[in-house]
Amino acid sequence: MSTGTLLAIIIPLVVVVALLAVGITLFVGRRRHLRERFGPEYERTVEDADSRRAGERELRSREKRHDSLDIKPLPSSSRERYSREWGGVQEEFVDRPEEAVHDADRLVTSLMHERGYPTEGFEQQLRDLSVEHGRTLEHYRAAHEVDALSTQHKATTEQLRGAMVHYRALFDELLSDGGGRERAPA
């Protein structure tokens, strides 16, 4: 074989291998990005989906929706007001634990709304929160389950106490703007 023929075979082969390497790197990088951003919610979503690809498509869809939301940090006066309200909810727990858990749920929902998260339904709240708060989302799920039990008066005091701890984890993160990226003013 002549040198020209060898080059005509080798060069396209090297280009194909290089393109494959770049494609694999981008694919792995995109998956890593989703795992890092969503934390435990990545595995949960992928397991619930028909396939890994479908789960990752769902997560990218959540990112896209989240990017269209106007999530904003709270002014310090609002943070102080929410902190005082949380203190009141904690004090209420001593005498009225079920009502305190309901109030904690309402307070977290109110805080989400003021930050710019839509609050039209629990499942949508989970999807929206998962983008920036995936690591504390399990707390919210657990607290919400106990809140539902308590409406039927079936939650134990220990479960109610646990719900308060779970609500507090998400509350603190939302209050401090934790997990979120600061947006430049428009």
> Alpha-carbon distance 38 to 34, whole Å?
6
Domain chopping of the chain, boundaries: 3-68, 76-177
- Show the CA angle centred on residue 42, arms to residues 41 and 44, nearest 5°: 60
**pTM attached to this predicted model:** 0.75
Task: Return the number of other C-beta atoms located less than 10 Å from residue 63's C-beta.
Answer: 17
Which pair of tokens denotes residue 61? Answer: 């869809």
Helix, strand, or coil (residue 50): coil
Of the candidates 124, 126, 120, 118, the one whose C-alpha atom is nearest the C-alpha of residue 143 is: 126
186 residues of the chain, pLDDT tens digit each: 788 787 777 887 777 766 676 555 555 566 687 888 888 888 889 999 989 889 999 999 999 999 999 999 999 999 999 999 999 999 999 999 999 999 999 999 999 999 999 998 999 999 999 999 988 999 999 999 999 999 999 999 999 999 999 999 999 999 986 444 443 333
Helix axes 137-151, 122-133, angle to 10 degrees: 160
The Cα diameter of the chain in Å comes to 91
> Alpha-carbon distance 87 to 164, whole Å?
12
